[in-house]
Structure 1
């Protein structure tokens, strides 16, 4: 019996979400009283999320109109930007690092701050994505993305249920609780992305639109699943199936680049991750991605990534 979690490519968009490999990095339960404000610093490569569980506040991020967030509303700041939260537009916003926080674990803390007025509670956190697909998806998101669960009974239920589980874990701090909390944070973010994919016209254009095309989306999924296979335009077209010329034209129209250019770039992004995180060698990666020589792989890598494989491997964290 197959253990493949994606036994078919009938849902390329869902498969893309599965591939994002979300990793929660930080979780904070915030208990504010008005007036209050704080500034969160830039956090390159991470996505911030904020959920209002009581009251309301303003969210401000560069390049976006300030947003008034109400109870049960979920907001994402997806581009790692510094941003501000405050009870009213003129409230002071000291750095979060200047505020006293109760550290309950390596990645979990409680923040209490404010002037003693009306209570505002939030759940905040930061997550990162470990898969090359994430960069393409996140690049399409607005500076601030908000999800109002009240517009859908189903969304409201999953938000409340997830937050309740997070609260239970936070209150008990049982063994493994931090891991559960960060995983539930991951669920919140993926659910928010799914809500955006379902409702925003921007999600039906460009690369995301291509994923939702029944033929081109299937081809992209096949490349994602088997990046080392000896793909050609003809073999991809045959898998869909379409004629070679029709497939090539449609792929370029929807994705914005030719099919083999996409295949090469996808392989090189995977290779860069393997160099940094696995310490893989050039020889291993050349074999993994179907190159006949290390030199051919290295040339393709430098053309796509902009640096030779050795330079990327040297930046691997110790």
Structure 2
């Protein structure tokens, strides 16, 4: 059975390296919270390394304040992602008000990862759905690192299309507690986070440079897609250049220019980052050493630690 780490491809399917990267943008929900708030109110989101937070306004208004960015007004149907695990505040006013840390505020739990929080005064009402998600594939970490400090999808944006429909489904689900509500909200949130990232890729000039820009290059992108699909293959500069239908020297120069590192160094790092994901999923060192073409587990372990800074055993135990 094919795994998500090696998505199925077919001979008649066009190569879409960026689309495949977004396919691998798999999230693991840490916590989701529906908040019913009355002004004045303020919620402090602590920093969570390696995670992203999101907020969508079901009703009312809220101000999102992320360090390094101006406070941002969120209206009903707006969806915002804070992708870098930064601590931040969301509140009823543009200027500071007393805040409470969300992880210490009294909440009514409806599951291990879903709660209802009621907080604030007797003023204007606001309902939010917020969450924290972790990304669990090397593609995710690389892509998320390139994102700005805030991503926002505005309900009032021209032709919001499918995004507005998903937000409407989330708002409807958040209005009342029903069986399966946690499952529905978490899956809708995953879709919205991917949509926000896709919107950034399509609209921000910064997404046309670096690794994301290289994925969209018609030649280097093909070579990247081949490595991402099959990191275990014995890639060489020659075989990668063949994937890109370029000469070896032209490919080497173009790859380094677009990606920011030589092709074979990228292959080595990608191979070990993929191995790290497989270790967390339960693969053994022996399996990965054989799959990656190493003659011994010790040789694989040395290469793995050189690239990732951790031993295979410690990564496997952390999974």
Structure 2-normalised TM-score? 0.90
Deviations 1:260-295 (A, max 9, x none): 1111001111122222331x3322111112223323
Q: Which residue pairs with 1:56 in the alignment?
A: 61
Q: Which residue pairs with 2:258 in the alignment?
A: 254
Greater shift in the superposed pair: 289-298 or 189-198: 289-298
Mapped pair 1:215 → 2:219:
yes
**Does the 8 Å CA contact 2:58/2:171 hold for their aligned counterparts?**
no
Residues 72 and 164 of structure 1: CA distance in aligned 2, closer, same or farther (over 3 Å): closer
Residues 63 and 172 of structure 1: CA distance in aligned 2, closer, same or farther (over 3 Å): closer
Mapped pair 1:184 → 2:198:
no
Deviations 1:139-195 (A, max 9, x none): 111122222242232x2x433322333355453622x44223211110010011111
Gaps of 5+ in 1: none
Q: How does 1:72-221 map to 2 (within 5 A)?
A: 72-88=77-93, 89-153=95-159, 155=160, 157-170=161-174, 171=176, 173-174=178-179, 176-221=180-225
Q: Which residue pairs with 2:45 in the alignment?
A: 40
Secondary structure in 2 aligned to 1:97? coil
Q: Which residue pairs with 1:283 in the alignment?
A: 286
Q: Give, in angstroms, the shift of residue 53 of structure 1.
A: 2.4
Runs of 4+ in 1 over 6 A off after TM superposition: none
Q: How does 1:16-27 map to 2 (within 5 A)?
A: 16-27=21-32
RMSD value over aligned CA atoms?
2.1
Q: Which residue pairs with 1:294 in the alignment?
A: 297
Q: Give, in angstroms, the shift of residue 13 of structure 1.
A: 0.7
Residues 196 and 213 of structure 1: CA distance in aligned 2, closer, same or farther (over 3 Å): same
Distance 2:219 2:149 in 1: 31
User: Normalized per residue, which structure has more helix?
Assistant: 1
**Does the 8 Å CA contact 1:210/1:254 hold for their aligned counterparts?**
yes
Secondary structure in 2 aligned to 1:81? coil
Q: Give, in angstroms, the shift of residue 81 of structure 1.
A: 1.7
Deviations 1:179-213 (A, max 9, x none): 23211110010011111111111111100000010
Q: 2:235 aligns with which of 210, 231, 236?
A: 231
Secondary structure in 2 aligned to 1:137? helix
Deviations 1:199-233 (A, max 9, x none): 11111110000001011111111101001111111
Q: Give, in angstroms, the shift of residue 5 of structure 1.
A: 4.5
Distance 2:177 2:101 in 1: 29
Distance 1:283 1:108 in 2: 38
Distance 1:75 1:167 in 2: 14
Q: 1:309 aligns with which of 291, 294, 312?
A: 312
**Does the 8 Å CA contact 2:77/2:168 hold for their aligned counterparts?**
no
Deviations 1:80-114 (A, max 9, x none): 12211111112111111342222122222222212
Counting matched residue pairs gives: 311
Structure 1-normalised TM-score? 0.91
Distance 1:41 1:184 in 2: 23
